[in-house]
Structure 1
């Protein structure tokens, strides 16, 4: 939080300065910036910062450079896109039509360009993480026995879910995820397109598949995509929010793929004979957009194939965008108990508008990494407290 305080203190000054340069009074500029941060995770801190500062000591250029320097020091972060969009929105709303000289727009554009540069510097997974991918063999083999120990609850209400496999995977790759979702009451559907080669030609067939399921159930369909499957799921969610209930990605690079450092890209380019940029420029540009539906991104920091920062969406954009960390390998995420439970809980929460409750849910918490970070006394209290089945 301390890092966020430094960044947001500087950014709010910059945002207010943009409005003031465009002929807004200090009071009116503060009101506009306050409105832009309604429901933001750091809303209270931002409001306090706005009230306590004079905002007259530094120029817009200096504030912008300070903000860029802070972002460079903190390193790449998908949440920077929230700052860019807020700043562009403020500039657009406050820019007078009869302004003779536009001072703010070039500076705002410069801020976006610098953020893009910073976010291009995400390194490839370290060699040690790549070596750890061998544990996926253990994860898949043990899941055949472990699966029956995972708590299950009937809360899916037969809601439709379309699952998309990872790069070089097929419907067999999502076997355990589909099986678990069925056991908790969801109606699951395969993608039925064979091996996923991450080719944009799959999109028309996937849209047809979505239409079939949508018409069959008469309601929106939830999309779950693992790795490369999450890329397709996100693009479809962007294109058809009227037919998509929510998006859940599992170890999927959901932004910055054009500059992603990973051995997967090199394999993909070798198989196709062309670079990713040459082949799918429009496809990857669509991937940068954030769907208007609820989004849950599941990732692991020990991912050996995809840089984990590419697997996170901008949580600061909206309350219904969440990133959930699990432990495990990239190739083993389809057979990871934490992943299965997280997917089910996200689907339940976003379709029913409430988090899963009850004693079984408390048992499930043992499959989450945060469980082991808690005090033993708190864990014991949770497990022996009176169950809530509402």
Structure 2
């Protein structure tokens, strides 16, 4: 929250000033802004920030530019989309007077354009990460003997899960993930479309398969997509949230694909003969939308093929969106024990709705970067005794 605190201090002042400019009192404006953060994971912290906002004769353009400048200093971040959404919602509040509607509309449009500009400049994976992708061979080989030792948390329900392979991969790529989920009690389904070339022509067949699984089980289907498979999974979740239980992506570029800088883009353009920016704008635009289903995005900061920031969704957009960092390469994520655990735990958490962790699950936490990023010995005591 440290970086976010600075951003939200600036944003809170802008949001309150906009509400006041539309005829709300300072107290009323703060109350409305706090209410707009109801599903925000940092709701309590932001409420305190909003309550401390003081206004004089503030210039809205200056406040907006100041917030944009802070965002630019911190660099690209998917969570900025939350700020845009909140401003748009403030603008739509019916009880406000239409005092400066055109001015406010222009400020929000400019803010959105600038955020899009900032987020279009995510750097490509460093050469060091690209070279590290060679470890994928060791990851796949080691999984052959490591698999039997991975903890298995049995699911109480035989829930359907449709898995989609990465770019240039097929159903063999998801073998370990499917095998592991099946051992936990999930009913897994292959995508059955051969090699994934990330072609929009695959969508109708995938949607047809979703319908078949949905009709067979008479319940929503969880979607799990690795890399390019996650692209299809997200678009389907956007189109048919009434048939999708949840979305889990594994090293998938779930936003910013149009401006994404990666070796994969070059190979796509070489194989297809056209630039990505010139292909299927509708497909790319749909990928930017956030599905109305629970979302878990698994990523690794040492990804050598996809910029890791493109593989995370806006956690601040809703409280049912989670990003989980794991150790490992991009190509080895299909044979990564922590990935398998994360997929299974996410499926169980969103289906069973249990917040309590067993001792085994607590021990599993030791294998994730988030645990080791915490400072001091207290991370161990908090894990086992809190």
TM-score by length of 2: 0.95
Measured after TM superposition, the shift of residue 42 of structure 1 is 2.3
SS at match of 1:163: strand
Q: Are residue 209 (structure 1) and residue 209 (structure 2) matched?
A: yes
Residue in 1 that maps onto 2:324: 324
Q: Are residue 29 (structure 1) and residue 29 (structure 2) matched?
A: yes
Residue in 2 that maps onto 1:388: none
Residue in 2 that maps onto 1:259: 259
SS at match of 1:297: strand
Measured after TM superposition, the shift of residue 358 of structure 1 is 2.6
Residue in 2 that maps onto 1:75: 75
Residue in 1 that maps onto 2:127: 127
Residue in 2 that maps onto 1:224: 224
Cα RMSD of the aligned pairs, angstroms, is 1.9
Residue in 1 that maps onto 2:55: 55
CA distance in 1, matches of 2:364, 2:100: 61
Residue in 2 that maps onto 1:179: 179
Change (3 A) 1:382 1:36: closer
Residue in 1 that maps onto 2:364: 364
Change (3 A) 1:312 1:122: same
Q: Deviations over 1:185-219 (max 9, x none)?
A: 11100000000000000000000100111111110
Change (3 A) 1:371 1:45: closer
Contact 1:164–1:225 (Cα < 8 Å) also in 2: yes
List runs of 5+ in structure 2 lacking aligned partners: none
Residue in 1 that maps onto 2:192: 192
Measured after TM superposition, the shift of residue 382 of structure 1 is 6.0
Residue in 2 that maps onto 1:353: 353
List runs of 5+ in structure 1 lacking aligned partners: 386-390
Change (3 A) 1:381 1:282: closer
SS at match of 1:305: coil
Equivalences for residues 1-390 of structure 1 within 5 A: 1-93=1-93, 99=99, 102-155=102-155, 157-355=157-355, 357-372=357-372, 379=380
Change (3 A) 1:86 1:373: closer
- Report which stretch shifted further, 32-41 or 166-175: 32-41
- Report which stretch shifted further, 1-10 or 262-271: 1-10
CA distance in 2, matches of 1:108, 1:36: 16
Change (3 A) 1:355 1:147: farther
Measured after TM superposition, the shift of residue 157 of structure 1 is 1.7
Contact 1:151–1:363 (Cα < 8 Å) also in 2: no
CA distance in 2, matches of 1:242, 1:284: 22
Contact 1:150–1:364 (Cα < 8 Å) also in 2: no
Measured after TM superposition, the shift of residue 156 of structure 1 is 5.1
Contact 2:164–2:233 (Cα < 8 Å) also in 1: yes
- Report which stretch shifted further, 64-73 or 94-103: 94-103
SS at match of 1:247: strand
CA distance in 2, matches of 1:81, 1:264: 25
Large movers: runs of 4+ above 4 Å: 94-101, 371-383
Q: Deviations over 1:73-92 (max 9, x none)?
A: 00000000000000011012
